[in-house]
């Protein structure tokens, strides 16, 4: 470190690429979507601009973090005001902003329970905490998770992630995986019952018979947008509770109204989770996550200390409060429902003209198309997926390749996407499919 190190930022793509290549660890360099890198300079609501000032529709929502819009003025103003007054206040000391947010989050949960909140910095930390909480409360070690689930990068969150490309050596054990109820290519075909039987069988054979819980994304996100079929979440909760365990809803992607019909994805099945995990959209880009649990389930954690340094950071929490307010006042959930339905309709139209699209699915603004080599065999086509993905960039659309085979194009934009945008997205996607 020299005294003369300049603070100006060099915006050129080549310089940024060179710095990343030289100074980023391999682990941080690896995850890049496009063949040619791109630099984003600014964002506003559902739009992004690159360093050359080209505009894009952000259908990835910066990995589903941008819930109500890039740089939403009310969220930015709330965070700026808080940052200027007191940027950080460690949770050991009292501050009203996180306390208000805890109350406001608890109010979004099903009535009839005393909900309590523990704020963390990231979704994976919240998943870790949910796992620890479930094990502490139940006294059982074994957890169930779904194949093709993604729950985060920490060692514990990896241990419940069912996609091998995200699993590294050194994960803790005591996790048994069950087949995900994928209605397009699941191993038991469409339906719910066989997948619930699978949970029973797995508890009976691959655990001690007593479990700490099950983690379920209400809509599998990175796994390729798989909404849980009717009866699955409630049936899974029932079976796991019979074995002494808890139902843990991972709402990191499916929460905050994104599914269009409900604030929380689990509400689609009328199930009340014991623990819900929230992140990403809660902060609209500010690092913030939370575990929301039934009070009695969180209570035994008081035996020991657990401290996330930035967990209840007031700047992020001020952003979180503004996000909840914008969701209510701007009728964001309804927009996700209406605009999502219009986009789904257009995607179905495109699929009817392009054999490469094997499936169109999703709910609200959590949508995906899946590319296959043959509609009958459903053989995944990651090459076609990558080609359409790259061509969409030329059309001003940023999508996401996802799914266990990288054969899905995921659309999870900021929930302010408009009906006019739907035309641009559908026309661009269709042009990309034609170019295939
Ligand atoms: C469903 C789900 N759970 C948990 C996580 C982990 O969140 P984070 O990346 O904030 O640690 C993610 C991140 O993509 C996710 O999609």
Ligand 1 centre from 388 Cα, in Å? 25
- Domain locations in the chain as residue ranges: 13-68+331-434, 75-329
Ligand 1 centre from 188 Cα, in Å? 27
Q: What 3-state DSSP class applies to 300? A: helix
pLDDT tens-digit readout, 330-351: 999 999 999 999 999 999 999 9
Task: State mean pLDDT over 394-416.
Answer: 96
Ligand 1 centre from 33 Cα, in Å? 17
Q: If you take atom 3 of ligand 1, which residue's CA is the nearest one? A: 151
Ligand 1 centre from 150 Cα, in Å? 7
Atom in ligand 1 nearest the alpha carbon of residue 217:
1
Q: If you take atom 4 of ligand 1, which residue's CA is the nearest one? A: 151
Distances (CA, A) of 82 to 134, 148, 160: 34, 39, 36
Q: If you take atom 13 of ligand 1, which residue's CA is the nearest one? A: 152
Ligand 1 centre from 349 Cα, in Å? 31
Q: What is the pLDDT of residue 338?
A: 98
pLDDT tens-digit readout, 3-59: 666 789 999 999 999 999 999 999 998 888 899 999 999 999 999 999 999 999 999
Q: Mutual orientation of helices 419-434 and 332-353 as an angle, nearest 10°?
A: 20
110: DSSP letter: P
What pTM did the predictor assign? 0.96
pLDDT tens-digit readout, 376-395: 999 999 999 999 999 999 99
CATH architecture of 13-68+331-434: Alpha-Beta Complex (3.90)
Q: What is the pLDDT of residue 2?
A: 56
pLDDT tens-digit readout, 211-267: 999 999 999 999 999 999 999 999 999 999 999 999 999 999 999 999 999 999 999
pLDDT tens-digit readout, 283-300: 999 999 999 999 999 999
Q: What is the pLDDT of residue 4?
A: 63
Atom in ligand 1 nearest the alpha carbon of residue 254:
1
DSSP letter for each residue of 228-268 = PPTTHHHHHHHHHHHTT-EEEEE-TTTTTTTTSS-SSGGGG
Average pLDDT, the chain: 96
pLDDT tens-digit readout, 92-101: 999 999 999 9
Is the separation of the CB atoms in 52 and 396 below 8 Å?
A: no
In CATH, what class is 75-329?
alpha beta
Q: What is the pLDDT of residue 436?
A: 85
Atom in ligand 1 nearest the alpha carbon of residue 279:
10
What six digits make up the tokens of 40?
Answer: 């984003």
Q: If you take atom 14 of ligand 1, which residue's CA is the nearest one? A: 152
pLDDT at residue 166 greater than cutoff 70? yes
Q: What is the pLDDT of residue 7?
A: 81
To test the ligand 1 pocket, which listed residue (161, 221, 266, 279) has its Cβ within 8 A of the most ligand atoms? 279
d(CA 65, CA 336): 15
Residues flanking ligand 1, CB < 6 Å? 122-124, 127, 150-153, 217, 221-222, 250, 252-253, 279, 289
Local confidence band at 324 (pLDDT 50, 70, 90 cut-offs): very high
d(CA 19, CA 21): 5
* Closest by CA position to 311, among listed 292, 335, 290: 290
Ligand 1 centre from 180 Cα, in Å? 18
pLDDT tens-digit readout, 106-158: 999 999 999 999 999 999 999 999 999 999 999 999 999 999 999 999 999 99
pLDDT at residue 424 greater than cutoff 60? yes
pLDDT at residue 1 greater than cutoff 70? no
Ligand 1 centre from 196 Cα, in Å? 25
């Amino acid at each position: 470190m020299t005294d003369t190190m300049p603070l100006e930022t060099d915006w050129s793509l080549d310089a940024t690429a060179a710095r990343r290549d030289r100074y980023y660890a391999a682990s941080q360099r690896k995850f890049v979507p496009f063949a040619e890198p791109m630099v984003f300079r600014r964002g506003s609501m559902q739009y992004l601009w690159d360093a050359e000032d080209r505009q894009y529709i952000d259908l990835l929502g910066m990995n589903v973090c941008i819930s109500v819009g890039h740089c939403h003025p009310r969220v930015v103003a709330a965070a700026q005001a808080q940052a200027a007054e007191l940027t950080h206040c460690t949770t050991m000391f009292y501050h009203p902003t996180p306390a208000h947010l805890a109350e406001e989050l608890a109010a979004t949960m099903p009535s009839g329970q005393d909900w309590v909140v523990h704020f963390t910095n990231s979704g994976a930390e919240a998943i870790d905490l949910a796992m620890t909480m479930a094990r502490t409360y139940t006294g059982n070690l074994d957890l169930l998770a779904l194949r093709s689930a993604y729950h985060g990068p920490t060692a514990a969150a990896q241990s419940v992630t069912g996609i091998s490309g995200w699993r590294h050596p050194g994960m803790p054990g005591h996790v048994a995986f069950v087949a995900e109820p994928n209605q397009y290519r699941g191993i038991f075909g469409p339906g719910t019952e066989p997948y619930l039987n699978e949970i029973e069988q797995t508890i009976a054979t691959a655990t001690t018979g007593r479990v700490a819980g099950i983690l379920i994304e209400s809509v599998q996100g990175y796994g390729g947008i798989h909404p849980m079929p009717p009866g699955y979440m409630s049936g899974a909760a029932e079976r796991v509770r019979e074995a002494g365990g808890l139902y843990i809803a991972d709402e990191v992607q499916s929460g905050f109204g994104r599914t269009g019909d409900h604030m929380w994805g689990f509400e689609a099945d009328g199930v009340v989770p014991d623990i819900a995990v929230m992140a990403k959209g809660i902060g609209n880009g500010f690092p913030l996550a939370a575990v929301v649990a039934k009070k009695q389930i969180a209570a035994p954690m008081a035996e020991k200390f657990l401290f996330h340094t930035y967990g209840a950071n007031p700047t992020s929490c001020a952003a979180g409060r503004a996000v909840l307010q914008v969701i209510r006042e701007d009728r964001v959930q309804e927009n996700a429902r209406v605009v999502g339905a219009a986009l789904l309709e257009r995607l179905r139209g495109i699929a009817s003209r392009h054999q490469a699209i094997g499936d169109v699915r999703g709910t609200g603004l959590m949508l995906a198309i899946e590319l296959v080599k043959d509609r009958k065999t459903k053989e995944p086509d990651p090459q076609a997926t990558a080609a359409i993905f790259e061509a969409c960039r030329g059309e001003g659309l940023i999508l996401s390749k996802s799914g266990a085979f990288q054969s899905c194009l995921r659309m999870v934009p900021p929930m302010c996407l408009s009906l006019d945008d739907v035309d641009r997205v559908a026309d661009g996607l269709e042009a990309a499919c034609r170019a295939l």
